[in-house]
Structure 1
Amino acid sequence: MNFKTQPVRTVDNRAQPDWWRGAVIYQVYPRSYQDSNGDGIGDLKGIAQRLPHIASLGVDAIWISPFFKSPMKDFGYDVSDYCDVDLMFGTLADFDDLLDKAHKLGMRVMVDLVLSHTSDQHPWFQESCQDHKNAKSDWYVWAEPKPDGTPPNNWLSIFGGSAWHWDGRREQYYLHNFLTSQPDLNFHNEEVQNALLDVAKFWLKRGVDGFRLDTINFYFHDQKLRDNPPLPVKRRNATIAPRVNPYNHQDHQYDKNQPENLAFLRSLRSVMEPYGAAAVGEVGDAQYGLEILGQYTAGDDLMHMCYAFEFLANAKPTASDVETVMDRVDEVAADGWSCWAFSNHDTVRHPSRWNLSDEGLKMMTVLMMCWRGSACIYQGEELGLPEAEVAFEELQDPYGIEFWPKFKGRDGCRTPMPWETQSEFSGFGENKPWLPVSPKHMEMAVDRQEEDPDAILHHYRRAIRFRHENPALRSGTQSPMKADGGLLIFTREHEGETYFCAFNLGDDVATVAAQTGSWQSIGADLGSVQDDLTNPVTLNPWQFLIAMKPKG
């Protein structure tokens, strides 16, 4: 590990310790944002070049997916050096420049830490796999085979097959929850924990404002290596893996979600605290995601926020679905904080996943900006991009190649960002990119939407500004949600001001009952119906109403 010289911080988050609460965070997938050197792959200089666009949205922070040194078997989520930039993305100096530019534009920067596993090319693993007695022999999860030579238990990989891979040098199996080239670190070893805390310190001293923590609930495993029990068929509806993957057939009680994780998260929080930094954890679990979210964000000594997969699911959420999720959050995470997302680099883009019209997309955006929690938006989401079609011969994602054609992988949401309608590669770069630019996306490029006042891009800007201009929507309390057919109703309150929110998520006309009090309809430029709440209000499908009752 090469700990480079640290520059002086240019932003002091301690002046606003709760900056993350209710923040809007913009995710950048660096391979696909902007290519600055013509090699077909996006890079840090390219991101820096496009920061004014991100700032124009009004977001509070950007989350940059991994740009660390890596053999790129899983596109950067297989790290071989936590403290250096992969040459395809640039240099540490490029990152410092990006960080400085973002801070000057009023945005914070969060980097994506992949702590649960490394690349098999990481020097730690290269040493660990040599024999049973070296200094890092216990830094990864090694286990003896069963007497018949088969893996030590029934744990499965999210990417398919057994979660165990045989290594002839040690004549043992090692654990990998993802690709075989991504061995899992042994968090039961205190030296491993300390080394990873040092990684966090490296980036904090460099000036980052926080972390997105990949697969935060995968850090620890059951030391007894007990078999996971089968998951009843009726509980397999919610999944974090493709339905064709037998990973969904297990109740993952022992390969993740272990109680020892809480102590490590407290240690990580204590490292972050002096910098005023914040973390958002990805909870990768379909059965217990909200409960884990509640555990990991409870109080003020664990993680600041986490997100689960409820709104990254395939089914379009109904009013009843949202009510159920939020009721469950109130039950198991009342003392915690959620960070919601509809799309990211691992899921089909939600306009396609939920078959949304422009009106539906606009309404769902406003809904996210109105409910309690922080929000993540994924690059291109602000353009309303649908999932791109990528032919099998152009696929890059090993996940999609493994389960094609039932599951096409993640490449469709990772294609290059379209900046210019008329350019050959839509302004992404001068040469052919690593994934094809979608023709549909080119028609929705930034330059074209900038000229159209009714474009999705401007709607996102208005919705984010609306959230910031109304403190109750950012950090106020939230009433229990009520679903009545397709109608979803809730209120937000802050310092005596109350906001009434009604959204019609259904296919039929809905009626909002008359309300008592001096309500003022607001949000007209977002499409909120302007009406007198002292009388019943009719909402067509994908219409919504937001009103405010002033103090007193």
Structure 2
Amino acid sequence: MQQQPWWRGAIIYQVYPRSLMDSNGDGVGDIPGIISKLDYIKSLDVDAIWVSPFFKSPMKDFGYDISDYRDVDPLFGTLDDIDRLIAEAHSRDIKVIIDQVLSHTSDQHQWFSESRLDKTNDKSDWYVWADPKEDGTPPNNWLSIFGGCAWEWEPRRGQYYLHNFLKSQPDLNFHNPQVQAQILEEVEFWLQRGVDGLRLDAINFCFHDQKLRDNPPKPPAERQGRGFSEDNPYAFQRHWYNNTQPENLAFLQRLRVLLDHYPGTVSLGEISSEDSLATMAEYTRGGDKLHMTYSFELLTDDFSPEYVRSTVESLEEGIGEGWPCWAIGNHDVARVLSRWGGDKACDELAKMLNAMVFSLRGSVCSYQGEELGLTEVDLPLEQLQDPYGITFWPMFKGRDGCRTPMPWSDEINGGFSSAAKTWLPVASEHKAMNVARQDNDPSSVLNAYRHFLHWRKDQPALCHGSIQFYDLNSDVLAFTRVAEEKLFCCFNFSAKPQTLELPEGFTRLLEESGFAAELCGNKLHLPGYGVAFMAEAV
């Protein structure tokens, strides 16, 4: 078998530090808490952890507003804690990928504090500044994802600054070579500390159109959100000029040169553009930019075999030797079991969804709690923390419902924290789904997750093989994965049993995958939300 890079076909477990485990009783998860759960994470048979931001921050956007790229926020711990996390993870053969937020900083970063003072200081061109129009209005019509105008007035300079997200998250000016060089130094600080990779937040937002051209309008029928609410005015524009500029490709090549000096390290870019699949292909083709990317294409409300197939096939057509990473859930969207299952959410659906995404061609990011089959939590306005949800309430409730703490046991706060109050409440509906209970249940979602990933490691076809889809049944997603062997994979997206006529040659039902189906000649009978893997005759 040809040796593959560790990240090709890897399962990456996303850790949201605030909500994994609180070690000091302040109601907020932290780095020592993550360390205390590494044995649990190891038991899942994942290859790496992606740790969402833990850097020093005023936490206006919960760490995605960095005020110091080289320090840990005291809320989460210290640099020594991060060094210990890396060492402890490596001792368990778990890679560590950290979030890097390169397109913008906090307005409390020292660079911005200096840049906003006047137009002549050393950092005056480190952020995106622009003069007002003659009538004093902003330079153009660009909008913030988090609501309203993407420009904020700064009286000290008599100019506007750009913020694609919160007004407290000013955009860096990547057209300035000094900014690019400094950002690469910030990245290398962590590479030198031994991290194995970078998850690059909003990486296609680094550059803006220098001519500051207006974005054109988008017809109402096309205002479908990808990572943002359709009620958000952001969906009213085609975002051709405030992100995904051609200059970004050269910067990504510089970033790749840096990573190549640290063999085995990997870059995973988050993409949200007008054509995210095309951008994913562009950013990973050629082996000289990003190693892999993911987008919001499978993080939407669209749920059907046809949609998943068309999404994957569209990417496959353009990606060439590039490599995708798939995710059906993360800290930015409603939990997949509720988003795709609705009132039909159940353990069997959770098992099917995990197996399905783990079987697609590519690597996979699996968000903490998906191994338990956790559902979205419906929080009242007074309990919301997310500024995005508070702004768009009640049409869109933000991202807090997927960020509630992990339930570990039947103890207080689900074993997450000893605090009287946690930063978000532990959901009452999650308490019966806790890790301790599922550990002791052979048929639980957790044990199905573990069993499948353990089996998958010995299936080269699932880890790095090619993919070809079959049109067999509108309720069933079916495809083959081919490497040294050929596997037939099928997933029933319906609660109703389905019968399939198998493609020629597949006669062995691989029940060691942990999933059972009934085979009668060339007919395969799948239970509701059933899964089957088959191999060719020996």
TM-score by length of 1: 0.94
Q: Distance in 2 between matches of 1:514 and 1:379?
A: 35
Q: Work out which of the residue numbers 507, 514, 531 in structure 1 matches 2:519.
A: 531
Report matched runs for 1:393-404 at 5 Å.
Answer: 393-404=382-393
Q: Work out which of the residue numbers 442, 446, 455 in structure 2 matches 1:457.
A: 446
Query: Does 1:482 pair with 2:468?
Result: no
Indicate the residue corresponding to 2:313 in structure 1: 327
Cα gap change, 1:82/1:155 in structure 2, threshold over 3 Å: closer, same or farther? same
> Is the 8 Å Cα contact of residues 43 and 90 (structure 1) preserved in structure 2?
yes
> Is the 8 Å Cα contact of residues 475 and 494 (structure 2) preserved in structure 1?
yes
Amino acid at match of 1:462: H
Indicate the residue corresponding to 2:358 in structure 1: 369
Query: Does 1:520 pair with 2:508?
Result: yes
SS at match of 1:311: coil
Amino acid at match of 2:443: D
Indicate the residue corresponding to 1:430 in structure 2: 418
Q: Distance in 1 between matches of 2:59 and 2:504?
A: 59
Q: Distance in 1 between matches of 2:133 and 2:199?
A: 37
Give the deviation of 1:365 after TM superposition: 1.1
> Is the 8 Å Cα contact of residues 323 and 483 (structure 1) preserved in structure 2?
no
Give the deviation of 1:328 after TM superposition: 0.4
Q: Distance in 2 between matches of 1:262 and 1:199?
A: 19
Query: Does 1:96 pair with 2:83?
Result: yes
Give the deviation of 1:516 after TM superposition: 3.0
Any idea what the Cα deviations from partners look like across 1:285-324, whole Å, max 9, x if unmatched? Answer: 3x30100000011121111111111110023x21111121
Cα gap change, 1:508/1:419 in structure 2, threshold over 3 Å: closer, same or farther? closer
> How many residue pairs are counted as aligned between the two chains?
532
Q: For structure 1, which segment, 119-128 or 324-333, has the greater mean C-alpha deviation from structure 2 after superposition? A: 324-333
Give the deviation of 1:530 after TM superposition: 4.5
Indicate the residue corresponding to 2:461 in structure 1: 472
Any idea what the Cα deviations from partners look like across 1:108-148, whole Å, max 9, x if unmatched? Answer: 00000000100000010011001101111000000000000
Report matched runs for 1:370-409 at 5 Å.
Answer: 370-409=359-398
Q: Distance in 2 between matches of 1:336 and 1:270?
A: 17
Give the deviation of 1:484 after TM superposition: 3.1
> Is the 8 Å Cα contact of residues 331 and 402 (structure 2) preserved in structure 1?
yes
Q: Distance in 1 between matches of 2:537 and 2:271?
A: 38
Q: Distance in 2 between matches of 1:243 and 1:483?
A: 33
Query: Does 1:413 pair with 2:402?
Result: yes
Q: Work out which of the residue numbers 266, 272, 296 in structure 2 matches 1:278.
A: 266
Q: Distance in 2 between matches of 1:462 and 1:395?
A: 36
Work out the percentage of aligned pairs sharing the same amino acid. 52
Cα gap change, 1:42/1:162 in structure 2, threshold over 3 Å: closer, same or farther? same
> Is the 8 Å Cα contact of residues 218 and 235 (structure 2) preserved in structure 1?
yes
Q: Distance in 2 between matches of 1:472 and 1:17?
A: 12
Unmatched 5+ residue regions in structure 2? none
Indicate the residue corresponding to 1:498 in structure 2: 486
Indicate the residue corresponding to 1:336 in structure 2: 322
> Is the 8 Å Cα contact of residues 498 and 550 (structure 1) preserved in structure 2?
no
Any idea what the Cα deviations from partners look like across 1:425-462, whole Å, max 9, x if unmatched? Answer: 11111112111111111111111111111111101111
Q: Work out which of the residue numbers 44, 50, 70 in structure 2 matches 1:57.
A: 44
Q: Distance in 1 between matches of 2:498 and 2:437?
A: 35
Q: Work out which of the residue numbers 59, 67, 70 in structure 2 matches 1:72.
A: 59
> Is the 8 Å Cα contact of residues 12 and 364 (structure 2) preserved in structure 1?
yes
Indicate the residue corresponding to 1:249 in structure 2: 236
> Is the 8 Å Cα contact of residues 186 and 192 (structure 1) preserved in structure 2?
yes
Q: Distance in 2 between matches of 1:550 and 1:20?
A: 31
Indicate the residue corresponding to 1:310 in structure 2: 297
Amino acid at match of 2:533: I
Report matched runs for 1:141-152 at 5 Å.
Answer: 141-152=128-139
> Is the 8 Å Cα contact of residues 420 and 427 (structure 1) preserved in structure 2?
yes
Indicate the residue corresponding to 2:199 in structure 1: 212
Cα gap change, 1:238/1:178 in structure 2, threshold over 3 Å: closer, same or farther? closer
Q: Distance in 2 between matches of 1:320 and 1:63?
A: 30
Cα gap change, 1:17/1:120 in structure 2, threshold over 3 Å: closer, same or farther? farther
> Is the 8 Å Cα contact of residues 285 and 322 (structure 2) preserved in structure 1?
yes
SS at match of 2:18: helix
Q: Distance in 1 between matches of 2:332 and 2:93?
A: 28
Q: Distance in 2 between matches of 1:417 and 1:363?
A: 21
Cα gap change, 1:17/1:509 in structure 2, threshold over 3 Å: closer, same or farther? closer
Query: Does 1:113 pair with 2:114?
Result: no
Cα gap change, 1:426/1:507 in structure 2, threshold over 3 Å: closer, same or farther? closer
Give the deviation of 1:488 after TM superposition: 2.0
Q: Distance in 1 between matches of 2:470 and 2:104?
A: 39
Amino acid at match of 1:339: C
TM-score by length of 2: 0.96
Indicate the residue corresponding to 1:441 in structure 2: 430
Q: For structure 1, which segment, 373-382 or 328-337, has the greater mean C-alpha deviation from structure 2 after superposition? A: 328-337
Give the deviation of 1:202 after TM superposition: 0.6
> Is the 8 Å Cα contact of residues 96 and 197 (structure 2) preserved in structure 1?
yes
SS at match of 2:259: helix
Cα gap change, 1:284/1:85 in structure 2, threshold over 3 Å: closer, same or farther? same
Amino acid at match of 1:284: S
Query: Does 1:20 pair with 2:7?
Result: yes
> Is the 8 Å Cα contact of residues 294 and 335 (structure 1) preserved in structure 2?
no
Q: Distance in 2 between matches of 1:189 and 1:483?
A: 53
> Is the 8 Å Cα contact of residues 283 and 309 (structure 1) preserved in structure 2?
yes
Indicate the residue corresponding to 2:159 in structure 1: 172
Report matched runs for 1:231-250 at 5 Å.
Answer: 231-250=218-237
SS at match of 2:322: coil
> Is the 8 Å Cα contact of residues 220 and 257 (structure 1) preserved in structure 2?
yes
Q: Distance in 2 between matches of 1:31 and 1:517?
A: 49
Q: Distance in 2 between matches of 1:27 and 1:254?
A: 31
> Is the 8 Å Cα contact of residues 455 and 512 (structure 2) preserved in structure 1?
no
| 4+ runs deviating over 6 angstroms | none
